[in-house]
Amino acid sequence: EIYLDNCATTKVCIDAANACMKVMTEQYGNPSSLHKKGVEAENIVTAARKTAASILNCDPDCIIFTSGATESNNLAILGGISARKRDGKTIVTSSVEHASVEHAAAYLEKQGYTVKRVEPKPGGNFDEADFINAVDEDTVLLTFMMVNNELGTVLPYEKIIRALRQKFPKLLIHLDAVQGFTKFPLNVRKIDADLISFSGHKLYAPKGIGGLYVKKGVRIEPIIYGGSQERSLRSGTQAVPLIAAFDEALKLCRDEGEKFAETYRFCNDYLRKAFQKMPEVVINSPANASPHVLNISVPGVPSEIMLHFLEQHDIFVSSGSACSKGAKSVVLKAYGLPEDRVKSALRLSFSKDTAKEQLDGFLDVLEQGIRRFKAVIR
Ligand code: PLP
């Protein structure tokens, strides 16, 4: 089995799985309970909060655990807007956001907000000036991603945030850091965002756990009401087994991040070199994209056909983002990719364990697929 769909989700690392099991079967208390079993569970949550905070270089109190980045993004956007009803009616975002940002913004658009969607330049990169110029006195929220999940494009978040923080000190700034978290440094003392979303299952923790960084002094309204857990911003008994697993995965990515980055870089370079010798393959990801993602097209061969051909050989890739299942990628279209490349796009994404032999196995089957479907290639 060759799994090259790590942007969709990753295999849980062994320490995370063991931690999860231990909490489920031994340390199963409710963190809100006053007895020893509750305190034990609370300590697990506190330890994980500290680990997440060590990655962002923030106070642990700034970390709110959620069910994943979809919830974090909704809490940031809907909760942020809710607390600023009189501050303005414009939201600035990009045209290549994940559905959890785009659909939340579209919902607010229906409620009467103006949503400005900044577009990338041909080639896939963004110009920070386009974001800076899109924000004005009426803008209440800037919400955008750190690294795009389909092409791997790294947005110029540091420059955008620095410039807009100075120009509009009251602007609420939210960064969807899911695809960049622990892959690129994200020190909040340097990158002064108000809200930062991150997710566990993209970095070797289980699905169903994520977090939102909320800067000290920044007020947002909850979107879930109940027992006032997580500083009342996310009521509901914390998912302690998943939080314990998240803690292990975060520590692994924090401590071994450089080694993992080398692996992603190796895989990316190796495939780029191989594709140079395959004229049927076009590379969609810009050269400066995050190395853990490589988006390619085989124009003339629809994504699904190649995807299922690869699948027959136990090789797993994606046609776009996992959430746009079956549908043609609106994001790749927004990136200005020609129709035939959008229709035939394949996203390859690597994990800490992806090895050269697996890449060779993938290349071999891809070549077979190209030979097989060559008749339909222009
Ligand atoms: N934002 C981006 C950029 C993503 O790639 C994803 C992953 O699907 C999400 C948000 C949603 O994360 P989750 O699956 O944790 O809800």
Note the ipTM here: 0.99
268 with 236, same domain?
no
Cα(106)–Cα(236) distance, integer angstroms = 27
- Taking the centre of ligand 1 as the mean of its atom positions, its distance from the CA of residue 149, in whole angstroms, is 8
Last residue of a domain, one of 252, 277, 307: 252
Work out how many domains the chain is built from and give that number: 2
Q: Which residues span the domain enclosing 159?
A: 14-252
Dihedral angle at the C-alpha atoms of 128, 335, 363, 377, nearest 10 degrees? -150
Secondary structure of 165-185 in the HEC alphabet?
HHHCCCCEEEEECCCCECCEC
Per-residue pLDDT tens listing for the chain (378 residues) = 999 999 999 999 999 999 999 999 999 999 999 999 999 999 999 999 999 999 999 999 999 999 999 999 999 999 999 999 999 999 999 999 999 999 999 999 999 999 999 999 988 899 999 999 999 999 999 999 999 999 999 999 999 999 999 999 999 999 999 999 999 999 999 999 999 999 999 999 999 999 999 999 999 999 999 999 999 999 999 999 999 999 999 999 999 999 999 999 999 999 999 999 999 999 999 999 999 999 999 999 999 999 999 999 999 999 975 555 555 678 888 888 899 999 999 999 999 999 999 999 999 999 999 999 977 765
202 with 296, same domain?
no
Could you tell me whether strands 139-145 and 172-176 are parallel, antiparallel, or unpaired per DSSP bridges? Answer: parallel
166 with 179, same domain?
yes
Are residues 302 and 344 in contact, defined by beta-carbon separation less than 8 angstroms?
yes
- Taking the centre of ligand 1 as the mean of its atom positions, its distance from the CA of residue 83, in whole angstroms, is 24
Instruction: Name, in order, each residue with C-beta under 8 angstroms of 34's C-beta and a sequence gap of 6 or more.
Output: none
Cα(260)–Cα(88) distance, integer angstroms = 42
Q: Which residues are catalytic?
A: 323
Sole residue written with tokens 């191989």: 274
239 SS3 class: coil
Q: Give the containing element (helix H, strand E) for 210.
A: strand 210-214
- Taking the centre of ligand 1 as the mean of its atom positions, its distance from the CA of residue 39, in whole angstroms, is 31
199 with 92, same domain?
yes
Q: Give all strands (DSSP E) within 257-368, no chain letters.
A: 282-283, 293-297, 315-316, 345-349
244 with 290, same domain?
no
265 with 161, same domain?
no
Write out residues with Cβ below 6 Å of ligand 1.
68-70, 73, 98, 100, 145, 149, 176, 178-179, 199, 210, 323
